[in-house]
Amino acid sequence: MIENASAILIPASFCRLIRVDETKCSPEFVYYALQDLYAAGGTWEFQNQSTGISNFQFEVFRKKYTLPNIDRSEQTAIAEVLGALDDKISTNTRIATASADISRSLFERALESGSVETSLTTVTTLISRGITPSYSDEAAGTTKILNQKCVRDQRVLLAPSRRTVDSRVREDKVLVVNDVLVNSTGQGTLGRVARWTRIERVTTDSHISIVRFDANLTNPITAGYGLLRMQSAIEELGEGSTGQTELSRVDLGKLRILLPNREIQDQLGEQLHQISSTQNAYLAENDTLAATRDALLPQLMSGQLRVKDAERSLAGVL
């Protein structure tokens, strides 16, 4: 029976508090056991969809779900191994967030020293939606393609991306380092902005606008941060009825962007690049740490992997 105190998010339309008897079971272990259950799709058997709406039957779950048969000391050891990975992810996230805050402060300080306002179209060589894809699960003859889910928290997430056949990809819409991506359709997603900083052949679908700055007229890195700071203004540019919100290329191009004076843009751009590289390194490490945690979780819960072996495998990670 499940009963303790960590708020556990059940994949349904509500949240329930589970309180565990700590003399019998580790609360942290319960948390990871439920994460394992959810990742394996095991929560579906506790959902009632007879009404067409997925409702999590918590009382059925509470009575029927059985925790892995692992003794208390081993539970604690498993939770400590997985918790160490999550703690490192949290630390990296805080550092990355602080780095982003520093970048914003540097940009704002530069504006105070002198600025120029211009339309976005004046300082860009490309403002265009991405392509209409022809999806494929093959690696050969295809290009990775980003969608709206890939632009979140002002960074690009590759996990939700797919692949499209190369014949659909226009070369001018293959992303270039320092391009800026702007989600341009849909309520709740329109207006999200992120900078592209990878050296990798990738394009976007037609729900994302690609903004490419003219390096002869402005520093692309500095200008990219100028566009990031305007995310709220971009969100307000959407037009259309509910669920059909659209951001036109013309309206995006008319957006007035505020930039530091040209003579300091290159120096500022180099500073922002260094900070961004550090931030990206911490976030990339988080991806590795999360993948490691997700791989270890089912093995530890099933007993396929002993805690000591897991600790040895983490020696070079933590």
pLDDT in tens, 143-192: 999 999 999 999 999 999 999 999 999 999 999 999 999 999 988 899 99
Taking phi first (over 0 means left), then psi (-120 to 50 degrees means alpha), and beta for anything else, what does residue 263 get? alpha
Angle at 124 between CA 219 and CA 259, to 5 degrees: 45
Q: Are 110 and 268 in contact (CB under 8 A)?
A: yes
The pLDDT-based confidence of 10 (bands split at 50, 70, 90) is very low
Mean pLDDT of the chain: 89
Mean pLDDT of 29-40: 88
Q: What is the predicted pLDDT for the residue at 7?
A: 40
Grouping H, G, I as helix, E, B as strand and the rest as coil, residue 193 is: strand
C-beta atoms surrounding 122 within 10 Å: 12
| β-strand partners of 209 | 129, 182
